[in-house]
Amino acid sequence: MLPETQPLTQEPVPGLPVVAADGREHTLNRASALKFGAAAGLGIAAAFAAVASPAAAAAPRRARGAALSMATPLPGVLDLYINEGYTKMVDDSLVYQRGFGDRPTALRDAKPSLRITPKVFTRDGSIVESRTYPLTAAPPPNGTPLPSGPDAANPGQFLIRRNYWASYFPQRTIIAETGSTVRIRVFNQLAGSHALTFAQAAHGRADITTGPIPPGGEAYLEFPAPYSGTYIYHDPTNAPVQRAMGLFGSLVVLDPQDAWSVAPGQAGFERQWLWVTHAICTTWTGIEAGGGTVDQDADPALPRYFMLNDRSGYEALGHSPNAALNKASHEESLVSGYPRQIDIRDFGEDLVLGTIRAGQMVRMVNAGIANHQIHFHGNHLWTVRRNNVEWPRDFGMVDEDGHVVLQQWEDVVELPPMDRKDCMIPMKRPPDATDQVWFNRTEDWKYPMHCHAEMSQTAAGGMYPGGLVAHWELKSSVNGG
C-alpha cells in the first residue's frame, strides 16, 4: 500500500498545515479530524477541538532558548519535537546535538528531549509508552532471560523458554504492530528547515517523508505499518548531516501474534536486541550549532564519538559510576543469556513443551555515517536478513557489490550506513574451549563485541576502548545465575 494522503474534499480547518507522504503540503481537514476521533472513540467535537487547537501553534519562528509549550495531544497520534541541546559524551565533554524528542525543550535545557522513550503503535489504534515488548510479557531481569531449566542431555546447557520473555528497546524506538497505523505529528522547534522520513517504509521500499518542515512549522504523517522488520527514521536534509546531528531513530515492525520471530514464520528467538550505531562529528556539530550549514566537501566528517544505543566506552559496557545508566545498558545492549544447544537449520525446534532451541536476535542498525564491522568474540553469529529481506538458505548468490546473499555464519558483520541486519547469536558453548575448562566453569563468561574499523574504538581521539563497544555474557548456573 502507498502511504495514505489526506483527502481534500472537505473544507479545510484553518491553521494546522499538513505535509502528506507525497511531500505536498496540505491542510488538515474535518474528515481527517473525524478519523482521529473515530480511531480513538472520542466525541467528534472533542476530536475537532483537539485538532484545531494546535492551530495557534502554527508557530512564529521562535527564538532559540524561548520557553515552549506542548501541543495538545491527539489520541492515537505520536508527537515528535525536533529539539536541540547539549549532551554529555563519554569523556564528559558537552556536544551540541539535535533529535526527535518527546516534548519541546530549549537549547539550554539541562535535560533536552532529543530522543523519545519507546512507543508502541498497537493494532487497536492506541499508543503505549513502553521500554519492553510484547507489552504483556515479563521483562527479563537485568535484561537476561532466565531458562526453564537444565538441559539433561547437554551438561552445562539449558532449555530456553519459548514465547515468554519480553525484550527491552533503547530510546528512539518506535514499535508498530503489523496491522497498525503509524500516526505522527512533527513540530520543528529549530531555526532551520527539517524533515522526518521513514526510509524504505512504503510499498516498493520507497521513503515516506513529511518533506521540508519550515522553522516553527509542523507536519503530519500517517501510514500503515510496513512489512515486519527494522526501519530507520531520520531527517534527510543535507544527508547525512542532519542524521549525524542526531535526527534519527528506529521503527521496528512486529507481528503481535508472532512476536518472537523477526517476521511471521521466520527465525524464532528467545529475546531480541536492537543495536543502533551512530557517530558524532564535532566539526559538523560546531558548524550547525553556530547556525551554519555543513559543506561536506569543505568540512569532511571526522567522527570523534562512536555510540551503540547512544552510549560509548565504559558507559556502553555498564561500567560507569551511574547505576541507572549501567542498568539501561544491561537491559538494552549487553546481550546475555544461558548457554544452549541449537541447530541453525531449525530455530523453532522444541523438544520439551514450552521451550525452544533458539538463540537471541540482534537487530543491527547503522544510523550513523561510518562503515562499521561488528565483531563478536565467543560465538559466530548467523545472519538471516539484510534490510528486511530474508536471505535464502540455499542457492545463494554474490550480488553485484560483492556481498554473499545466503544465510551464513559471520564473526564480523558489515554494517554500512543505513543498513540493517538481523543476526542470531546462538549462545552456544564457545566451540574452541577445552572440555575441562567448559565443564569446570564456575562463573559467567564475558566476551567483547566491538567494531573492527578500529577508529570507532576511540573517544576524543584516544581513550581505547571508548567507542562502539559492548560485551555479551554467557551466564553460569553456578555463579551469577
Partner 1 sequence: MQQKTPETQFLQTPQLSVNLDVANRKLTFPDGAEFLMWVFHSDTSGRGFPGPTLRPKERDIFHARVEPSMGPHTIHWHGMEPDPRNDGVGHTSFEIEDHYTYQWQPEPGRAGNPNYGAAGTYFYHCHVNTTLHAQMGLLGPLVIDPVVLDGFPVAPGNRRAFADGPEYDIATESLIMMYSVDPRWHSLHHAAGLSGEDVGLNRFEPDHFYITGGLLNSRKEREGAVWAPTELPVNVKGNGKAPSLMRLLDGNYLPNKLYFLHEDGSPARIAELIAHDGRPYRHTTIPGAPAIPTSMLEDPRAHLLTHVVAMGAAERYDVLLRPPEAGTYRLRVEWNHWITGKTLGRRELKLIAS
**C-beta of 372: minimal distance to partner 1 in Å?**
8
278 forms part of the interface with partner 1 (CB under 8 A): no
Whose grid coordinates read 568540512? 299
Which cell numbers hold the place of 113? 528531549
Alpha-carbon distance 16 to 403, whole Å?
A: 47
406 forms part of the interface with partner 1 (CB under 8 A): yes
What part of residues 457-476 is at the interface with partner 1 (CB under 8 A)?
A: 457-458, 460-465, 471
What part of residues 144-173 is at the interface with partner 1 (CB under 8 A)?
A: none
What part of residues 358-387 is at the interface with partner 1 (CB under 8 A)?
A: 369-371, 373, 375, 377-380
Options 79-87, 192-200, 205-213, 409-417: segment touching partner 1 (CB under 8 A): 409-417
Q: From the list 66, 149, 409, 478, which residue makes contact with partner 1 (rule: CB under 8 A)?
A: 409
239 forms part of the interface with partner 1 (CB under 8 A): no
Which CB, 112 or 303, lies closer to partner 1?
303
Distance of CA 120 to the CA centre of its chain: 12
The answer, yes or no, to whether the previous bond of 448 is cis (omega within 30 of 0) is no
What part of residues 97-126 is at the interface with partner 1 (CB under 8 A)?
A: none
- The three-class DSSP label of residue 39 is helix
400 forms part of the interface with partner 1 (CB under 8 A): yes
Q: From the list 430, 476, 477, 480, which residue makes contact with partner 1 (rule: CB under 8 A)?
A: 430
* Cβ-proximal residues to 6 (8 Å cutoff; 6+ apart), any chain: 18, 20, 26, 28, 29, 31, 32, 220, 222
**C-beta of 336: minimal distance to partner 1 in Å?**
13
* Cβ-proximal residues to 449 (8 Å cutoff; 6+ apart), any chain: 335, 374, 375, 376, 377, 469, 470, 471, 472
- Strand duo 78-88 + 181-188: pairing: parallel
Alpha-carbon distance 279 to 369, whole Å?
A: 6
396 forms part of the interface with partner 1 (CB under 8 A): yes
Which CB, 93 or 117, lies closer to partner 1?
93
Which CB, 363 or 471, lies closer to partner 1?
471
∠ Cα 290 291 296 (to 5°): 90
433 forms part of the interface with partner 1 (CB under 8 A): yes
321 forms part of the interface with partner 1 (CB under 8 A): no
Q: From the list 199, 344, 423, 468, which residue makes contact with partner 1 (rule: CB under 8 A)?
A: 344
Compute how many residues bind partner 1; rule: CB under 8 A.
72
Q: From the list 412, 476, 477, 480, which residue makes contact with partner 1 (rule: CB under 8 A)?
A: 412
* Cβ-proximal residues to 349 (8 Å cutoff; 6+ apart), any chain: 342, 343, 356, 357, 358
Which CB, 223 or 248, lies closer to partner 1?
248
∠ Cα 373 420 94 (to 5°): 70
- State the DSSP code for 126: -
What DSSP string describes 294-362?
A: --TTTS-----EEEETTB-HHHHTT-SS-HHHHHHHHHHTS-EE------TT-TT--SSTTEE---EEE
**C-beta of 215: minimal distance to partner 1 in Å?**
29
Q: Of 418, 402, 414, give the one whose Cα is nearest residue 372.
A: 414
Whose grid coordinates read 518472537? 260
**C-beta of 428: minimal distance to partner 1 in Å?**
8
352 forms part of the interface with partner 1 (CB under 8 A): no
351 forms part of the interface with partner 1 (CB under 8 A): no
**C-beta of 140: minimal distance to partner 1 in Å?**
22
Q: From the list 13, 135, 179, 447, which residue makes contact with partner 1 (rule: CB under 8 A)?
A: 447
Which CB, 106 or 463, lies closer to partner 1?
463
Which CB, 180 or 379, lies closer to partner 1?
379
Q: Of 244, 222, 286, 239, give the one whose Cα is nearest residue 76.
A: 222
301 forms part of the interface with partner 1 (CB under 8 A): yes
Task: Answer for the pair 243, 288: CB distance below 8 angstroms, yes or no.
Answer: no
442 forms part of the interface with partner 1 (CB under 8 A): no
**C-beta of 156: minimal distance to partner 1 in Å?**
12
**C-beta of 425: minimal distance to partner 1 in Å?**
12
Alpha-carbon distance 463 to 305, whole Å?
A: 11
What part of residues 62-101 is at the interface with partner 1 (CB under 8 A)?
A: 91
227 forms part of the interface with partner 1 (CB under 8 A): no
